[in-house]
Amino acid sequence: MIRSLRLKGWKSHENTTLRFGKGTNLLIGPMGAGKTSVLDSICFALFGTFPALKSRKVRLEDVVMARPQKRDKAEVEMAFDAGGKEFTVTRIAGAKGVSEAVLKSDGKIIDAQSQRVTEAVERLLGIDYELFTRAIYSEQNKIDYFTVLGKGERKQQVDELLGIDRFEAARSNATTALNKLKEAKENAQSFLQGTDYENAEKEAARAGEETAAIRNALKKSEELLAGLAKEKHGMETAVGRLEEEERRLRAAEKRLEGTRYALAEKEKEAVEKRKSLKFFLEKNRLGPAEEEARKEIASLKQLQKEIQELRVRAEKAKTALSFIDAEKKKFGGADKKTAEEKIHGLSDAVARGKAEAKKIQDSANECAARAKECENALAALAKESAACPVCDSPLPHDKHASLKKHKHELLEKTRRELNEFSASHKAVETEVEKTSAELEKQKALLTQLQRLDSLDEQGKTAEKELGEASARLAEAQKGFSEEKMRAVEEKLEDVRKCRETIEAEEKAAQLKNEVLRAENDVKGIGAVFDEAKLREARKQVTEFEKQIAGLKAKTAADRALAEEKEKALEEWRKKSEAVGRKRLEISQVDEKTRRLTIFQNALVDAQAVLRGELIDAVNGAVAALWPSIYPYNDYRSIRLRADHEGYALELQALDGFWVGIENASGGEKSCASLALRVAFAMVLAPNLSWLVLDEPTHNLDREAVILLCNALREEIPKIVEQTFIITHDEALREGASARIYRVERDKDAGEQSAVEELG
């Protein structure tokens, strides 16, 4: 049983809560009020979709409220009973088409993934979306859905509803499979008819023998080739040893030649260097002579550096003295005492001027206040009924005129005084500015004169620095001369030349010894190396290479022939194997065809038996319901009959004959469809015991509506635990046995749905 339903932002429902009871629950209201939205939300809560969404007539984001205010999501929460427990399912549809779901029981989350929630609900209720929408939920104005279908369409729809359409689909698939098996057998037989499989087996055997013979010959050639390669390798090793001896001999000869040339060059160099010497020192005297010359050069360079630094110091002292003299000349005979006296006098004058300016400003302010009083008095006297500004008594006309004239004269005098004060104030301020400028000038002069005192000290320091630098410079110049520096550097160069001469003579002696060693090496290697033996060994290697090349060519030809024969053998084997597979395939196809034919016949029998049982159950239920739903006596009963063409819905007349539903009126069809709907719900979903009808009074007359109300209130609750009716027909209020809700909404104004419980 569905206990409650809460909608937030769902289509036209801003925040609607509905509670339902056992029996018939009624939602009544005009078209467009939002009644069908409630049924859609029940279907959505259970299965995550509803008919209009499933058929893509609307999108998921279309269920989110857009008017009168736009929401970013729609939420549906439904509480229901199943298996003796209460469950709550919540689904959220986002404005971007995203769906979320949560299933709870006793406050604990069972699942929170949309598809798994749907699967869990289907397990709890024992029904899926397809069965729910066909057996339980009748869409708007489709109560007579089964009565308006043709026989062929009715057969398809009823078979799908009863679940036996799967037998038809399986039988069709079996027929397709049989046709494919037949085609496969024909193809296999066609292959065998076009294949000489006896000759294929003989050819395969012959190709195998030829391939084995070629492979044996190829193996012998490869063994012979391996022996030749081994002998060639041994000879190549001998050639390698002889070539290594030859390389050593040529290297020794080249080294001897290079050493002799280097000896000649070094002896020539030693002779030339000795000729260029001014004097010659022994090797043991070179070090002390070089050290003494280097120390003397270092001392002279230090004196040279010191002379340069002293010259820079003297030049800096002269520059400083010139700057100080120039600075003193800028200020002529000015002195600090006179400047300080002028600053004192000017500071007093500025202070007096500022005091006088303030005094004048105060007088001007008082004058301005008096002028304001006169202006206010004149403004008051400008009225005809002016009163005395002192005692507030009425003024006579002559007194009024006299007082007004007096105030005018006083105002003019005050304004003249105010102008005079302004001129005086400006003159005093100008004089103060001039005096202040002169004061700043004298202060700047005093600062410069104070700086001259420090320059005197700097001058004395500079004179002292100049004297010291000049004295030290004269002393340093006595110990240094350019001629002395050049003489010492030439002495150092002569020592270096002596060293190079001694080193060249020593290197020449060393090279003589190397020449002797190289000559001995050439003699020793030449005694071992035999050039004729090397030529003979190379000739034998060439002969081996020719034999190996010829044998490789023959081996390659044999290998190619063997591969060709093996390919032919493989082709014959494939043909032979293909024949075997086709024979086996035909045998397997025959067995599959036999079994599939048995299965197909069983499907037909099972479908017929199951259809008969289900139709009997439906007819039993619908016959029991008919007297409670149909208000007249012209048709005693109703049945659903199955034949080879499909299903026929028939009514039983008073004479006992059955007539097709096609001959009935619209109201009679609606009564028949309602009875059929309830019967399907009873047979196909007995555990759920729900029924959902949207606008069931379509095509019903007044008597039929009255009987329907009685059935909904009295009879159907005995069969179906909970029924939901959506209608605009006020007469159906009499059919409610549980709760009644009125749903209203101004659709043109875009208002939200308003829901009121009536009972």
End-to-end distance of the chain based on CA atoms, in angstroms?
19
* Residue 218, pLDDT score: 73
Q: What is the mean pLDDT of residues 600-627?
A: 79
Is residue 376 within 8 A of residue 414, CB to CB? The reply is no
Query: Which CA distances in Å does 566 have to 368, 436, 570, 598, 747?
Result: 134, 125, 6, 47, 87
Q: Where is average pLDDT lowest: 23-32, 123-132, 595-604? A: 595-604
* Residue 141, pLDDT score: 46
What are the tokens at 444? 């700047």
Domain locations in the chain?
2-150+687-757, 335-477
Q: What is the mean pLDDT of residues 530-539?
A: 74
Q: What is the mean pLDDT of residues 263-273?
A: 78
Q: What is the mean pLDDT of residues 220-231?
A: 76
Peptide bond into 627 cis (omega under 30): no
Is residue 565 within 8 A of residue 210, CB to CB? The reply is yes
Residue 48: pLDDT band with limits 50, 70, 90? very high
| pLDDT, averaged across the chain | 79
Res. 466: pLDDT tops 70: no
Percent of the chain with pLDDT over 70: 81
| Distance of alpha carbon 175 from alpha carbon 186, whole angstroms | 17
| Distance of alpha carbon 12 from alpha carbon 374, whole angstroms | 77
Sheet holding 646-653, edge to edge: 635-643, 646-653, 658-660
Please give the CATH superfamily to which domain 335-477 belongs. Answer: Helix hairpin bin (1.10.287.510)
The string of pLDDT tens digits covering residues 328-340 is 666 666 667 777 8
Q: What is the mean pLDDT of residues 422-448?
A: 84
* Residue 510, pLDDT score: 84
Q: Which run of H or E residues covers position 627?
A: helix 531-629
The residue assigned the tokens 């060693």 is 517
Res. 192: pLDDT tops 70: no
Is residue 20 within 8 A of residue 739, CB to CB? The reply is yes
The string of pLDDT tens digits covering residues 626-684 is 887 777 788 888 888 877 667 788 888 888 888 888 888 777 777 787 788 788 777 77
Residue 23: pLDDT band with limits 50, 70, 90? very high
The string of pLDDT tens digits covering residues 70-79 is 898 999 999 9
The string of pLDDT tens digits covering residues 54-65 is 888 889 888 999
Q: Which run of H or E residues covers position 10?
A: strand 2-10
Res. 234: pLDDT tops 80: no
Calculated CA dihedral for residues 412, 417, 422, 424, nearest 10 degrees: 150
Does 3.40.50.300 match the CATH number of domain 2-150+687-757?
Answer: yes
The torsion angles phi and psi of 631, rounded to 5 degrees, stand at -90, -5
Res. 274: pLDDT tops 70: yes
Percent of the chain with pLDDT over 90: 13
Res. 739: pLDDT tops 90: yes
3-state secondary structure at position 735: helix
The torsion angles phi and psi of 52, rounded to 5 degrees, stand at -65, -35
* Residue 387, pLDDT score: 64
